Amino acid sequence: MAMSAKSSELTRARVRSAWLFLSPMLVVLALVAGWPLVRTIYFSFTDATLSNLSDYDFIGFANFIEYYEGEWYGVIVDPDWWRAVYNTIWFTVVSVGLELILGMIVALTLNAAFPGRGMLRAAILIPWAIPTIVSAQMWGWMLHDQFGVLNAILMGIGIISQPVAWTASPDTALWAVVMVDVWKTTPFMALLILAALQMLPSDCYEAARVDGINPIKVFFKVTLPLIRPALMVAIIFRALDALRIFDLIYVLTSNSRDTASMSVYARQQLVDFQQVGYGSAASTLLFLIIALLIIVTLMVGRVRLGEDPR
């Protein structure tokens, strides 16, 4: 009994010092993440405007949904909002899916030992290292229909006969955004997967080689199950990022409703239209939608973030 009392004393001391060390971070988090979030939710129940932020009234759920003279109003019944939700989810699924596949290929390639591997690993990180706003503007010029280099190349090798208006045409605009995002974040995905690959025990592979098993089968039966926890973490990171995409879409296609994401919609209401209350309601919904999607992903993927990937 004495032993156990002593150990729980020790545990308590450890817990105390853990909290002590954590407290600065918790305070900072509460200030930079908690407070703005609470304030946004608070504003979503008011009719505040940007021109005068100190004077507003509470209007309940009217920003979300309101019945007025026989018609429904509010974010929840705004078709543009649901268009933005659809755009965002479509973008997330397609871009994260492509990044996963390409990132996996890059990671498997870089996992092999060959001369100059260190250099190459550093080089593939360049797109990830460029600030998004810079790469988006750069791609904006490269995708320009009249003097963009992409059209010049494609026409030069005869794939297209007329310049394509990548960011202007509603058919290609969202694909153009996806392409730039894939270009930019595949290195990040590749790096996370590569880190997981490097942790793998080599004995499974030796056993597989001794048994003469087809490398493709090895990949699906051995590699994939082993790196699945790390993969899920990478997917959740990227999905979180992609669901709140703003800068890339805004720079490439401005406020166009064909490509607007949830963040673009919320910003337009908040800043361009000065409706802080309505925009905050959209931001609150954005937060709820992302939270919901992440919870679903975690449950479906049976990922326990608290557990070390093994």
Partner 1 sequence: MNFRTLIGASALALTTALAAGGAQAQGVSVSISCGALGQELDICREGAEAWAEQTGNSVTVVSTPNSSTERLALYQQLLAAGAADIDVFQIDVIWPGILGEHFIDLAEHMDGQQDEHFPAIVENNTIDGRLVAMPWFTDAGLLYYRSDLLEKHGFEAPTTWQEMTDTARAVMEAERAEGNDQLWGYVFQGRAYEGLTCNALEWIDAHNGGSVVNPEGEVTVNNPQAIEALALAGTWIGDISPEGVLNYAEEEARGVFQSGNAVFMRNWPYVWALANAPDSPISGNVGVVALPKGGEEGKNTGTLGGWQLAVSRYSANPEVAADLVRYLTSYEEQKRRAIVGAYNPTIAGLYEDPEVLEAVPFFGDLYDTFVNAVARPSRPTGESYNRVSAEFWEASHNVLTGAATAEQALADLESSLNRMSRRGW
Stretch that binds partner 1, among 94-102, 138-146, 240-248, 296-304 (CB under 8 A): 138-146
Asked whether position 137 contacts partner 1 by CB under 8 A, the answer is no
Asked whether position 9 contacts partner 1 by CB under 8 A, the answer is no
Stretch that binds partner 1, among 95-103, 107-115, 252-260, 295-303 (CB under 8 A): 252-260
- Which residues are CB-contacts of 240 (< 8 A; sequence separation ≥ 6)? 290, 294
Asked whether position 69 contacts partner 1 by CB under 8 A, the answer is yes
* Number of neighbours of residue 57 by Cβ within 10 angstroms: 9
Residue 58 — φ and ψ, nearest 5°?
-80, 135
For 235-273, give the DSSP string.
HHHHHHHHHT--HHHHHHHTT-TTT--HHHHHHIIIIIS
Tokens of 72: 């429904």
Based on CB atoms, which residue is closest to partner 1, 73 or 128?
A: 73
What's the rounded Cα separation, in Å, for the pair 245 and 156? 33
Asked whether position 268 contacts partner 1 by CB under 8 A, the answer is yes
What's the rounded Cα separation, in Å, for the pair 226 and 200? 7
3-state helix, strand, coil in the chain (%, to 5): 70, 5, 25
Tokens of 127: 């797109």
Asked whether position 271 contacts partner 1 by CB under 8 A, the answer is yes
Rounded to a whole number of angstroms, the minimum distance from the CB of residue 176 to partner 1 is 10
Asked whether position 256 contacts partner 1 by CB under 8 A, the answer is yes
Pick from 28, 38, 53, 122 the residue near partner 1 by CB under 8 A: 53
Rounded to a whole number of angstroms, the minimum distance from the CB of residue 235 to partner 1 is 29
Q: If binding means CB under 8 A, how many residues of this protein chain bind partner 1?
A: 31
Q: Could you tell me which of 145, 179, 202, 194 has the C-alpha nearest to residue 259?
A: 179
Q: What's the start-to-end Cα distance of the chain, in Å?
A: 35
Rounded to a whole number of angstroms, the minimum distance from the CB of residue 63 to partner 1 is 14
Asked whether position 83 contacts partner 1 by CB under 8 A, the answer is no
Tokens of 19: 């909290």
Asked whether position 67 contacts partner 1 by CB under 8 A, the answer is no
Placement of tokens 């310049």 in the chain = 163
What's the rounded Cα separation, in Å, for the pair 93 and 268? 24
Stretch that binds partner 1, among 43-51, 109-117, 125-133, 205-213 (CB under 8 A): 43-51
Q: Binding to partner 1 (CB under 8 A): which residues in 159-178?
A: 163-165, 167-170
| 3 state SS of 46 | strand
Asked whether position 24 contacts partner 1 by CB under 8 A, the answer is no
Asked whether position 254 contacts partner 1 by CB under 8 A, the answer is yes
Based on CB atoms, which residue is closest to partner 1, 9 or 272?
A: 272
Mode of pairing for the β-strands spanning 71-73 and 66-68:
antiparallel
List residues binding partner 1 (CB under 8 A).
49-53, 68-69, 71, 73, 144-147, 163-165, 167-170, 253-258, 268, 271-274
